[in-house]
Structure 1
Amino acid sequence: MLPDLADLLSEAHVVALPMRVRFRGITVREAMVLRGPAGWTEFSPFVEYDDGESAAWLRAALDFGWTTHEPAAESVPVNATVPAVPPDEVAPLLARYPGCTTAKVKVAEPGTTLDDDVARVAEVRRVMGPDAAVRVDANGLWSEDQAARALERLAPFGLQYAEQPCRTVPELAALRARLSGLGVAIAADESVRKASDPLAVARAGAADVLVVKAQPLGGITAARAIVAEAGLPCVVSSALDTSVGLGMGAFLAAAAMSPGYAAGLGTAAMFTADVTASPLLPVGGQVPVRRADVSAELLQRHAASPERTAWWRARLERVHALLATA
């Protein structure tokens, strides 16, 4: 059942958390955390998302905050995340992910070149050594031809997979067939979490791996159903969440993720602040499967401005109204 809007707003807090480096075009992540009967939960669709797309994020918040989910493991392995930084910044970034043996490297960033990407991936491989798993993520910014050229240059570094190299499902399917002898697996992210039909990519044979995120897919319960029906290996990743949202992802990863893969849930290391005194930071290459214990003092210290708080509260009201009429 949909909780009353007044109940949601009474325990809703908006925070603005500064990041160590620019990622996904932002240096401050805004998020709303709410407290439900099962514990703290998060509603944090990116600011550019419309209300219709944000509805799944609110369903996820309600699923986690108003449903008891039992942890299927004590912890899950996670990857390090390397934004589009110069090679000399790679080693200090990786040091924030102690024990991690997998790295996801951003490529195709606007304003950078393929040579920049190759240099960044080469440095990650050098620092982490030959046995580490290295992934690249293009966020759908390459065309099929650009992706083919890029992955031919990046393949010698031993990629575990390339995440969303192209935007559309047909492009992914064509690229996967085109690169069948190269040994680079294709993972789908945006083609799952932003699609009206998240299973279309699996039916089209356009990916080897699904990257799933709890909030964009409507929560733990909904995401587990998608993974089960898709029948492909699954990697659970974050949506640049606070530790509250990372906890939601960790519960999903413990229940649904495929063995042999690290989850993309170590992103608390990208922030200089959080909503809890015990953030879900990687330790020994793992993050714990638990709910965050939110600090009232940190909520106050990192509160968004009154104007941004009003914007988020109005957004919650609109999206709640959409769910009420669905």
Structure 2
Amino acid sequence: MPAAAPLDELLAAAHVVTLPMRVKFRGVLEREVLLLDGPAGWGEFSPFVEYDDAEAARWLAGAVEAGWVGFPAAVRGWVPVNAIVPAVSAAEVPGILGAFDALHTVKVKVAERGQSLAEDAARVGAVRHLLPQAAIRVDANGGWDVEQAVAALRMLSAFGLEYAEQPVPTIAGLAAVRAGLGGSVLIAADESVRKATDPLAVARAGAADLLIVKAAPLGGVRRALEIVAEAGLPAVVSSALDSSVGIRAGLALAAALPQLPYACGLGTVSLMAGDVTADSLVAVSGGIAVRDVAADPALLARFAAPAGRRDWWLARLRRCYALL
């Protein structure tokens, strides 16, 4: 991968932006993103700032694939997309859902630090009240222990859950929750795939019913496709609070999977108050058409990060490049 894009070429192609959020998500009100303008298209390098270089290097590999190699062939031209409700109050749910189109599937954040299960239930219940026919999935980001997860998911299952994403942090914990629920709620693994040294360990342990896969954290679209094939489990493609450039990589992954049984979590651009293209990759009629996007020079200038933050990202790029 480094041979495909020399370091000096990456540095010359880099643009760093700070995109404002409409609502706090993962504790973030501004999303910093480094974009790469490559010969095959635009790539995005945007690991969260707290990630170490070893983890962030996989995101750089994905950005280089997008910008210098290109994406594999697609088997579908349209990808269904879920709406997402952050850990807001139940009263805020209608306003959040109003930003999304064709609400056939909704992911609801739960187990937020400092919040209660009652607040989670109120949030999920508000979604169910507004959307009686929608598929609802919950995402705990590993915020519960096993006992809490089993109790919470038994309660929340009253609203009808499609699945629960990463209810506990560990693979052993996922297996215990899955056994404790006895199949009443399907378990999806996210962090146990994308942040693991061995992304296939969760499948070998029988700890999940399906996988959440994200192109950037797994090292690019091709590597993510390999992981799904080797795991032998259904997959949901999701994003990591990307700009439309990053969403394009997620679309490429979803478009190339042989089977796509679930709506994908690629709707996070709708949570942003700014983007790097005027033609954002947001859902229309419940999904996104697979197409290329290019960053707009005027928007790159408008959202350009301060010099100090640009320097920080370029230094990070250099360090991560050395690890590829």
AA at the equivalent of 2:246: G
1:36 pairs with 2:33 = no
AA at the equivalent of 1:185: L
Partner of 1:240: 241
Deviation, 1:72, is 2.7
Gaps of 5+ in 1: none
The answer (yes or no) to whether the contact 1:77–1:263 under 8 Å persists in 2 is yes
Deviations 1:238-285 (A, max 9, x none): 011110000000010111174331000011100000000101011111
Q: How does 1:59-98 map to 2 (within 5 A)?
A: 59-69=61-71, 70-98=73-101
AA at the equivalent of 2:244: S
Deviation, 1:121, is 0.2
AA at the equivalent of 1:68: G
The answer (yes or no) to whether the contact 1:220–1:248 under 8 Å persists in 2 is yes
SS in 2 for 1:97: coil
Partner of 2:216: 215
Distance 1:109 1:257, change over 3 A: farther
Identify the match of residue 107 of structure 1 among 102, 107, 110: 110
CA–CA separation in structure 1 for the residues paired with 2:68 and 2:34: 16
CA–CA separation in structure 2 for the residues paired with 1:258 and 1:268: 24
Distance 1:276 1:206, change over 3 A: same
Deviation, 1:63, is 1.1
AA at the equivalent of 1:160: E
Matched residues, number: 321
CA–CA separation in structure 2 for the residues paired with 1:257 and 1:266: 21
Q: How does 1:193-204 map to 2 (within 5 A)?
A: 193-204=194-205
Q: Which runs of 4+ in 1 moved over 6 A?
A: none
Gaps of 5+ in 2: none
The answer (yes or no) to whether the contact 2:34–2:313 under 8 Å persists in 1 is yes
SS in 2 for 1:315: helix
Deviations 1:160-219 (A, max 9, x none): 0000000000010011011015x2000000000000000000000000010000000000
The answer (yes or no) to whether the contact 2:47–2:59 under 8 Å persists in 1 is yes
CA–CA separation in structure 2 for the residues paired with 1:95 and 1:67: 37
SS in 1 for 2:224: helix
Deviation, 1:142, is 0.2
SS in 2 for 1:322: coil
Q: Relative to structure 2, which stretch is displaced further, 250-259 or 260-269? A: 250-259
RMSD: 1.0
Deviation, 1:95, is 1.6
CA–CA separation in structure 1 for the residues paired with 2:15 and 2:118: 43
Partner of 1:4: 6
Deviations 1:288-318 (A, max 9, x none): 2122121000000001111100000000011
When normalised by structure 2's length, the TM-score is 0.97
CA–CA separation in structure 1 for the residues paired with 2:34 and 2:181: 42
The answer (yes or no) to whether the contact 1:192–1:201 under 8 Å persists in 2 is yes
Q: How does 1:46-57 map to 2 (within 5 A)?
A: 46-57=48-59
Deviations 1:69-110 (A, max 9, x none): 233322200000000111111111112111130000000001
CA–CA separation in structure 2 for the residues paired with 1:76 and 1:95: 20
SS in 2 for 1:105: strand
Partner of 2:176: 174
Q: How does 1:146-295 map to 2 (within 5 A)?
A: 146-181=148-183, 183-256=184-257, 258-295=259-296
CA–CA separation in structure 2 for the residues paired with 1:55 and 1:68: 18
Identity of paired residues, percent?
57
Identify the match of residue 132 of structure 1 among 134, 142, 155: 134
Q: Relative to structure 2, which stretch is displaced further, 107-116 or 284-293? A: 284-293
The answer (yes or no) to whether the contact 1:236–1:257 under 8 Å persists in 2 is no
SS in 1 for 2:323: helix
AA at the equivalent of 2:36: L
AA at the equivalent of 1:128: L
